[in-house]
Amino acid sequence: MDEQKCSHDGCKLDIFEDTKCVLHCEKENEYRWEKYAKFYDELTEYITKNTFSNKLIVLSHIIFPEHDERDDFDYEKILKQFTSIHFNYCEFHTSNLDFPDIQCFFQDCDFHKYWTLYDYKVLKNKDDVIYQCCTFMKDVYVYSAEDKDMSFPIFHESQFDYGCEFKGEVRFNDTKIKKPLFNTNQNSYSATSLFIKSLIFNNCTFEQPFKLNNYKIDYFSCTDTVFKNKSKFEFKKNEVGEFELLNTNFKSLVDCYKTEFKSFKVKKSIFEKFIGFEQCKFGQEKKNSNVALFQYATFLDFVNFREAKFHNGLDLQNANLKEYPNFLDIYVEPKSTNRETFRIIKHSFDKVGNIIEANKYFAYEMKKERENTSIKDDLNKKIMLNLNYWISNFGQSWIRPLILILIVAIFHTLLIYGMDSKIFQVINPSNPIYDFLKWIVDFSNDLAKNILPFKKPLIEGKEFISLVFLVIYSTLIYNFIVAVKRITKR
């Protein structure tokens, strides 16, 4: 009876396990000598039968097990005989393949264990990358020599296209990257259609543009990293859970158009060229989250926040701004935003002559000043800030003073009627206290009559009461006029 053949399409090898041959069957994480020795023999025979010219080999749909260079049957030794290898729809249960002088291309491959990145030479392909449409199930790291005196790892080729997906952490430590790390046209992918759990750069240098768009990223971090003059940082239409920059320098422009950041922190970083956050979203609407923080961030060029939304507040208090940013049509949650940030936004609108928006943020600035001023520190200031807030919301509400004018007018009228009808006379004229109180009233009326600017509007016999209401009316009318003007102009 003929041996049963592998169920994989086109494979004529005998079944080794289940319905697959040793090249196409699943490989356990546990090391099995007999399986891996058999894999070595079959791979050797497969390569012998299918070797192409010019030392190029294409390996398709093969599942590679763990390997150990100490074994005589280590398959890496076979592969190192070639100058070019194309891995097509392969799976890897090993964590590294060290091919220092081989041109490599991994297409539609799955990596089941953590994977070590080496500075492979690229086998020419459409996107000119090492990994195309690959899925990394675990963490991805850069190979780093144990000898600390050796130079930093250098990547001379682009590593990934936009079809790659990372379900674990991707970390680059002490690495120089000379080509775009992600290199392909992202337009064929829908927004946030791909996933990176964690992308971390520590003490890295980018010499060419960094471009990563349409990804969903749980965590993104750059520390002690430099993006050089030719290295534009393009980070558009991403969804980021946590975004952190620490001591990172951008010598070229930064574009984060339409990216959503649930948590955003920039500390001790320098932006030397234009930086754009147009239509970005920071924080989570109707959810408690951290304020968007720019702590000791230095901007040496123009910053564009146009139509950005800061759902959990914005902190620019310790930012260093050479030019005032563009804040047109932004939304800033006021509760978690400090006074200095509102002052910066107000001044940016003042600078371009947008007085209406400047007035709005002036009101926010004064509200924060009111919150920060205590009665113990400055009673007079606290009283004035409270009055201004209650009467007209610092010039932002014309309705409040108008309603107060009507209320005061009604009360004033009723008071005059009451005085004329002697309804408020509760003390008998024969009582000695009556003469004393009458003297006070007469004196107050005479005092009011001697304030010349107000003499004419005063009602005879009710001069003091008239003066009090005249001051109240004047204050309310002034606030009403200011509010109306600030809605239209300053």
For the chain, give every domain's residue range. Answer: 391-488
CB 67 within 8 A of CB 94: yes
Residue 295 confidence (pLDDT): 96
Mapping DSSP to helix (H, G, I), strand (E, B) and coil, where does residue 182 land? strand
Q: What are the 10-residue block averages of pLDDT along the chain, 490 residues in total? A: 70 76 74 74 82 77 85 86 93 91 95 94 93 95 66 89 93 94 67 83 95 94 94 93 96 96 97 96 86 96 96 95 94 93 92 84 79 68 67 64 67 60 56 58 53 48 54 59 53
In 108-203 the beta strands, taken as DSSP E runs, fall at 110-111, 115-117, 121-122, 131-132, 135-136, 140-142, 154-155, 165-173, 176-177, 194-202
Q: For 56, phi and psi rounded to 5 degrees?
A: -100, 135
What is d(CA 1, CA 455) in angstroms, rounded to the nearest whole number? 125
Backbone conformation region of residue 247, classed left if phi is above 0, alpha if psi is from -120 to 50, else beta: left
Residue 352 confidence (pLDDT): 87
What is d(CA 254, CA 276) in angstroms, rounded to the nearest whole number? 6
Backbone conformation region of residue 108, classed left if phi is above 0, alpha if psi is from -120 to 50, else beta: left
Q: To 10 degrees, what angle do helices 379-392 and 399-420 make?
A: 100
DSSP string, 288-340: ----EEEES-EESS-EE-TT-EETT-EE-TT-EESS--B-TT-EE-STT--HH
Q: How many CA atoms lie within 13 A of 431 on its CB side?
A: 9
Among 365, 369, 397, 363, residue whose Cα is nearest residue 381: 369
Contacts of 455 (CB under 8 A, 6+ apart): 449
What is d(CA 266, CA 134) in angstroms, rounded to the nearest whole number? 31
DSSP string, 184-250: S-GGGS-TT-EEEEEEEEES-EE-S-EE--SEEEEEEEEES-EE-TT--EE--S-EEEEEEEES-EE
Residue 384 confidence (pLDDT): 67
Sign of CA dihedral 444, 446, 449, 451: negative
- The structure tokens 């309705």 sit at 399
Among 89, 83, 90, residue whose Cα is nearest residue 104: 83
What is d(CA 186, CA 43) in angstroms, rounded to the nearest whole number? 36
Among 267, 232, 273, 231, residue whose Cα is nearest residue 247: 267
Residue 230 confidence (pLDDT): 81
Instruction: Please give the distance of CA 196 from its chain centroid, rounded to a whole number.
Output: 16
Whole-prediction pTM value? 0.78
